[in-house]
Amino acid sequence: MSARRLFAHELEEALDRVLYASPSHRSIERLALLLEPLSRAQQDLVLHWAGVAAQTYAEIGYLIASLAPQVFARLDERDFAAWVIHGLDTYDKQGLRPAMEVLRDFEGFLAAKEGRAFARFEEVEARLSRLIQGLSGRPLSLRIGPYPYTDTETIFLPERIGQYAAHADNRRLYQALAVRLWAQARFGTYRADLTHALSQYADRELACQWLCCLEAMRLESCIARELPGMARELARLRSPWPDELACAARDLQADDADISVSLRWLARLMEKNVLPPPLTGLGVLAPELAQRVRDARIEKDTEILRRALMQSLTPGERKARMTTQIDAQRGVVEIRIDGEAVWLAPEAQEAAQSLIQDLGELPPELLAPAGPAEGKLPQPRQRLAEPERIEERRADFYYDEWDYLRQAYRRGWCHVYETEGKAGTGDFVRETKKRHAARIRQLKKKFEAIRGEDRLLGRQLEGEEIDLDAHIEALHDRKSGAEPSARLFARRQRNERSFAAMFLIDMSGSTKGWVNDCEREALVMLCEALEALGDAYAIYGFSGWTRTRCDLYRIKSYSERYDEAIARRIDGIEAKDYTRMGVAIRHVTRLLAAQPAKHKLLVLLTDGRPDDFGDEYRGVYGVEDTRRALLEARRQGVRSFCVTIDRAGQEYLKHMMGPAAYVILDDARKLPLKIAEIYRRLTV
Amino acid sequence: MLAEIKTLTPILERPLTAPYYRPIGEEVALFEAAARQRLPVLLKGPTGCGKTRFVEYMAWKLGRPLATVACHDDLTTADLVGRYLIVGEETVWLDGPLTAAVRMGAICYLDEIVEARKDTTVVIHPLADSRRLLAVDKRGELIPAPAEFMLVISYNPGYQSVLKEIKPSTRQRFVAIEFDYPAADIEAEIVATEGGVDVECARKLVKLAELTRNLKGAGLDEGASTRLLVHAAQLIAAGIAPQTAATAAVARALSDEPDMSETLDDLVRAVFG
Ligand SMILES: Nc1ncnc2c1ncn2[C@@H]1O[C@H](COP(=O)(O)OP(=O)(O)OP(=O)(O)O)[C@@H](O)[C@H]1O
Ligand SMILES: [Mg+2]
């Protein structure tokens, strides 16, 4: 056998021979091109094993050949064979799909063999999501995905990473991936129509890989301008840029380089017909997925902004040309008419900023003079009627609901049924108390201390201390012949706390599982703490199914004491149906407002946004109704505070909570440990 | 009877040199106009954004003495207005800072007014409307405030406690000037000037502050203030490595929580690493 490397056309022939059921000739052509740079020994191995595998299953043979260049970058010849055999074994035992997966995961194979320490998504998730939150731009959530990419709203990361031997290095790689993908969303990778741009190339896959490299280079320098430390870290974790990119570097690293620069260079690279090196840790591009998400968002944001403009402009102003100005320093968008800035509501401002991030400008048609053709503005979409449910008994209460489209209340719209919460066994509460015994003791002490805070009352007829001011005055009065006061003492008086609290617990279906567990645990901690404090408090859970069935479950009323029965009801709290939030807030506000305490506090525990069966309550409607309900509460002297376990929810929260304060917990497991402290901070 | 008792009034100094203050918007003009029209002023804004510095600067600019009171929950009316003391055999009256400021025609700055006991706000009400009177109940004295007297209070709306809210009846007596952390360029200029570092370094600190401000409400009560940036800059100017300085003065100052600290360290590293 000669040691000369096989050329592409020879490989093509050989591949055609071993992979008899090849998908198409073009893919074989590409495969051949891919294998050309390998050594002859490697090429022979690939042909051999691809052939062996193809006899079992053609697709596996093809996969082995196409992964080979990447595999050889990481494994030597002996491991290559072991990797193939491992894949074939898996096929025999578990079938095609698992086999393909095992083969694709050659990193995992290598890592397992070397006993390397994987980093896992769960362990890095919380920290990464806080980091991404800290970096500016539109909020992005994190999720496990088949490969690392972003659709501009979510960053998808692999379930585990084992590229490096050391656990810490694998964690660093997670971070690098997340930041690179954040940068794609932040610095406009998807601002151009990539689907279209890539479709111009015969080998779309290859073009996509090159574009990913070009963008990674451009984005790294965007990052370097704002976060030099991060850029250095990214550079440390990748192999050197391929030589082909050297000439593009200057253009890509220019301050004003955008996606169009990468696309220009892509055209040149594709002419050269070279393969990109197997660079790992850059993430991949997902143009179709991103485009879809982005288009939907742009439509939504445009609509929000259009409406806001329609509302705040007079008909005369609508005919004027508008200009935009972006205050880059503050990230604020200003829309001006004849130099005068138009006031934008927070949600409209947010929509405008989001549009700028997506488009680099506001859609021109939005700013064009509307003229007489106002009627052409799209009408609010047809609402979908909610299915009605017929209930066997009359509702206990009826509440109005706010319809933002009409800007009016729908009278008596929501039917509330108040029932006592179902009793559980009480085991959960007992266990929680046992598990957190030390913590509970600590809380009690702390809360008793607050309760015990004294106030010194001066000028009393009797008391344990002398009121010095009063004494001096009396001394003086006596001297000057006036009648001295007999009120010369100071007395310590227990500081009268005058609080009534209402805890409203989200029992919607989405809380099923550990969110529900954490809510219940949190309630146990709260009750213990509040008992020590002596504040009046009640606990209600809510869920429901359309407006005609809004359930409120009484876990503890103000008049009940915290005892075994209450503990059982806490235990019995379970995830049910939907989250029609507005009406629940209205109902408990009514109960809370009737309390004699001076300060009234509503604490809402939820895991996300308002939602109900059918499409009506979901989205803007529910958010606006909830916001309205909180405003109503405020007017009745009830202060609200919302504890949300929802990392993704930041966008709408600020608006919805308008009159209320809120805190977002990125991890439900923190709730039990934090809730008492949150309450304490609200009331001292 | 009043004549018999000796009255002590602390002397409030007029600032001699101009404190460094970098104007951000129209706050200087607003404050001057309010001073001319004898209107009391409320400064609203997050901690460490330059409210105190601004008042010091305005006192200098208007050439008036300044009495500053940092309010706390034990602050009583007597602490503001004054009290009797016994000196030897003699009873004397010592003016509190508010009374002294009224007598002298000074600016009285009550920092963090919501921290004070509720009853103390009652004494400022008649001073803060058209009456412009200070009632010294203990002496049965009513002191009309001269034209130069000016009442300034500050308030950080970031507090979450229900108790730490300014009452509408108080709030509505004041002209409110809103403060926020300045735009990045200006903030960098302030940090460079105050901290004695170059603009390049100041910019990085400001960038770090921006990142932490994004975490407000999601783990942090407040992002890093200008004050913290100045502290970090001062450490750097004293020869501490930037990353160490930022960690000590910003990251550690913002949170004790392990999770949050970790994230703040990540952010420090992203900028300075
Ligand atoms: N506009 C500014 N010009 C000059 N220095 C400033 C300015 N803004 C902030 N600083 C710097 O920030 C520091 C903190 O400001 P300052 O003490 O005035 O804050 P504050 O708003 O009064 O805070 P707090 O509410 O905590 O009392 C100042 O010592 C100064 O170094
Ligand atoms: Mg201050």
Res A612 pLDDT > 60? yes
One domain for residues A85 and A216:
no
Mean pLDDT of B211-218: 86
Q: Which of A170-184, A515-529, A637-651, B89-103 has the lowest mean pLDDT?
A: A637-651
pLDDT at B175: 94
Distance between CA A225 and CA B271 in Å, rounded? 10
Could you tell me the CA-to-CA distances from B77 to B95, B112, B123 in Å, in that order? Answer: 12, 15, 7
Tell me if B5 and A473 make a contact (CB, 8 A cut-off). Answer: no
One domain for residues A284 and A295:
no
Residues of chain A contacting B92 with CB distance shorter than 8 Å:
none
pLDDT at A16: 86
One domain for residues A526 and A665:
yes
One domain for residues A110 and A131:
no
Tell me if B267 and A131 make a contact (CB, 8 A cut-off). Answer: yes
Q: Which of A31-35, A472-476, B50-54 has the lowest mean pLDDT?
A: A472-476
Q: Is the dihedral of CA A80, A81, A82, A83 positive or negative?
A: positive
Alpha helix stretches (DSSP H) within A503-580: 514-533, 564-571
What is the number of structural domains in chain A? 5
Res A679 pLDDT > 80? yes
One domain for residues A340 and A462:
no
pLDDT in tens, B36-46: 999 999 999 98
Token pair, residue A461, equals 């007829």
In a domain? residue A274: yes
In a domain? residue A387: no
Q: Ligand 1 in contact with B75 (CB < 6 A)?
A: no
Which residue has a Cα nearest atom 12 of ligand 1? Answer: B227
- Of the partner residues B160, B212, B271, the one whose CB lies closest to the CB of residue A227: B271
Domain end marker among A220, A254, A288 = A288
- Kindly identify the ligand whose nearest atom is closest to the C-alpha of B114: 1
Q: What is the residue whose two structure tokens read 């407000």?
A: B216
pLDDT at A482: 78
Number of residues written out for chain A: 684
Residues of chain A contacting B215 with CB distance shorter than 8 Å:
130, 133-134
Which residue has a Cα nearest atom 1 of ligand 1? Answer: B22
Cβ count within 10 A of residue A474: 18
Res B225 pLDDT > 90? yes
Res A269 pLDDT > 70? yes
Name the helix (H) or strand (E) containing A156.
Answer: strand A154-157
Distance between CA B99 and CA B80 in Å, rounded? 7
Q: Which of A438-452, A454-468, B35-49, B232-246 has the lowest mean pLDDT?
A: A454-468
pLDDT in tens, A569-594: 999 988 888 888 999 999 999 999 88
Pick the most confident of A284-298, A323-337, B141-155.
Answer: B141-155
CATH number for the domain that contains residue A589: 3.40.50.410
- Helices A40-56/A58-74 angle, 10° precision: 150
Domain end marker among A90, A114, A138 = A114
Residues of chain B contacting A601 with CB distance shorter than 8 Å:
162
DSSP state letter for B270: H
For residue B111, report the distance from its CA to the centre of ligand 2, in Å: 6
Tell me if B273 and A131 make a contact (CB, 8 A cut-off). Answer: no
pLDDT at A609: 75
Tell me if A130 and B260 make a contact (CB, 8 A cut-off). Answer: yes
Pick the most confident of A105-109, A115-119, A614-618, B92-96.
Answer: B92-96
pLDDT in tens, A215-243: 999 999 999 999 999 999 999 999 888 88
Q: Which of B26, B28, B153, B227 to mutate to test the pocket of ligand 1 (most atoms within 8 A of CB)?
A: B227
Number of residues written out for chain B: 273
Q: Ligand 1 in contact with B227 (CB < 6 A)?
A: yes
Q: Ligand 1 in contact with B47 (CB < 6 A)?
A: yes
Res A376 pLDDT > 50? no
Q: Which of A22-36, A153-167, A240-254, B259-273 has the lowest mean pLDDT?
A: A22-36
pLDDT at A532: 82
Identify whether the C-beta of residue B197 lies closer than 8 Å to the C-beta of residue B252.
no
Mean pLDDT of A499-506: 91
pLDDT at A380: 39
Confidence of residue B1 (pLDDT cuts 50, 70, 90): very low
pLDDT at B160: 59
Q: Residues of A near B (CB-CB distance < 8 A)?
A: 126-127, 130-131, 133-136, 175, 226-230, 232-233, 327, 329-330, 469, 472-473, 475-476, 479-480, 482, 599, 601, 639, 641, 650, 654, 661-664, 666, 681-684
Q: Ligand 1 in contact with B230 (CB < 6 A)?
A: yes
For residue B55, report the distance from its CA to the centre of ligand 1, in Å: 10
> Which are the contacts of A231, defined by CB distance < 8 A and separation ≥ 6?
A220, A221, A223, A224
Tell me if A681 and B160 make a contact (CB, 8 A cut-off). Answer: yes
Check residues B265 and A647 and name the one with the higher pLDDT. B265
ipTM summary value: 0.84
Atom of ligand 1 nearest to the CA of B23: 1
pLDDT at A468: 81
Which residue has a Cα nearest atom 25 of ligand 1? Answer: B47
pLDDT at A318: 64
For residue B114, report the distance from its CA to the centre of ligand 1, in Å: 19
Tell me if A666 and B184 make a contact (CB, 8 A cut-off). Answer: no
pLDDT at B9: 86
User: By the CB < 8 Å criterion, does B6 face chain A?
Assistant: no
Which residue range is the domain that position A460 belongs to? 455-494
Tell me if B270 and A130 make a contact (CB, 8 A cut-off). Answer: no
In a domain? residue A398: no
Cβ count within 10 A of residue A4: 8
Distance between CA A155 and CA A157 in Å, rounded? 6
One domain for residues A506 and A629:
yes
Which phi and psi (to 5°) does residue A504 adopt?
-110, 120
pLDDT in tens, B106-122: 999 999 888 887 777 78
Q: Which of B194, B206, B231 to mutate to test the pocket of ligand 1 (most atoms within 8 A of CB)?
A: B194
For residue B226, report the distance from its CA to the centre of ligand 1, in Å: 7
In a domain? residue A22: yes
Q: Ligand 1 in contact with B232 (CB < 6 A)?
A: no
One domain for residues A21 and A145:
no
One domain for residues A293 and A282:
no
For residue B110, which of B68, B77, B146 has the smallest C-alpha distance? B68
- Kindly identify the ligand whose nearest atom is closest to the C-alpha of B179: 1
pLDDT in tens, A56-103: 888 888 899 989 998 888 888 888 988 998 898 888 888 888 888 889
One domain for residues A537 and A672:
yes
Q: What percent of chain A has pLDDT over 70?
A: 90
Which residue has a Cα nearest atom 15 of ligand 1? Answer: B50
Full DSSP string of B119-155 = HHHHHHTTTSSTT-EEEEGGGTEEEEPPTT-EEEEEE
Distance from CA of B216 to the nearest CA of A (A): 9
Tell me if A133 and B214 make a contact (CB, 8 A cut-off). Answer: yes
Mean pLDDT of B209-231: 90
One domain for residues A51 and A95:
yes
Residues of chain B contacting A637 with CB distance shorter than 8 Å:
none
Tell me if B273 and A134 make a contact (CB, 8 A cut-off). Answer: no
Task: Give the largest Cα separation in chain A, rounded.
Answer: 128
Q: Ligand 1 in contact with B111 (CB < 6 A)?
A: yes
Cβ count within 10 A of residue B156: 21
Atom of ligand 1 nearest to the CA of B46: 25
For residue A614, which of A580, A583, A654 has the smallest C-alpha distance? A580
User: By the CB < 8 Å criterion, does B273 face chain A?
Assistant: yes
Distance between CA A664 and CA A20 in Å, rounded? 57
pLDDT at A443: 83
pLDDT at A213: 93
In a domain? residue A47: yes
Q: Which of residues 14-33 of B touch A (CB under 8 A)?
A: none
Res A463 pLDDT > 70? no
Q: Which residue of A has its CA nearest to B242?
A: A229
Mean pLDDT of A434-459: 78
Mutate: best of A127, A131, A175, A664, partner B, most B CBs <10 A? A131
Identify whether the C-beta of residue B133 lies closer than 8 Å to the C-beta of residue B127.
yes
Could you tell me the CA-to-CA distances from B259 to A125, A128, A129, A131, A198 in Å, in that order? Answer: 12, 11, 12, 11, 42
Which phi and psi (to 5°) does residue A536 adopt?
-75, 135
Distance from CA of B91 to the nearest CA of A (A): 7
One domain for residues A294 and A443:
no
pLDDT at A391: 58
- Of the partner residues B161, B185, B204, the one whose CB lies closest to the CB of residue A684: B161
- Say how many CB pairs under 8 Å bridge A and B: 105
One domain for residues A466 and A579:
no
Q: What is the residue whose two structure tokens read 């193809």?
A: A54
Tell me if A601 and B215 make a contact (CB, 8 A cut-off). Answer: no
- Of the partner residues A230, A472, A650, the one whose CB lies closest to the CB of residue B218: A650
The SS3 of residue A384 is coil
Q: Which of residues 56-75 of B touch A (CB under 8 A)?
A: none
In a domain? residue A268: yes
Domain end marker among A114, A132, A159 = A114
Distance between CA A50 and CA A38 in Å, rounded? 15
Which residue has a Cα nearest atom 18 of ligand 1? Answer: B50
Average pLDDT across chain A, whole number: 83
For residue B109, report the distance from its CA to the centre of ligand 2, in Å: 10
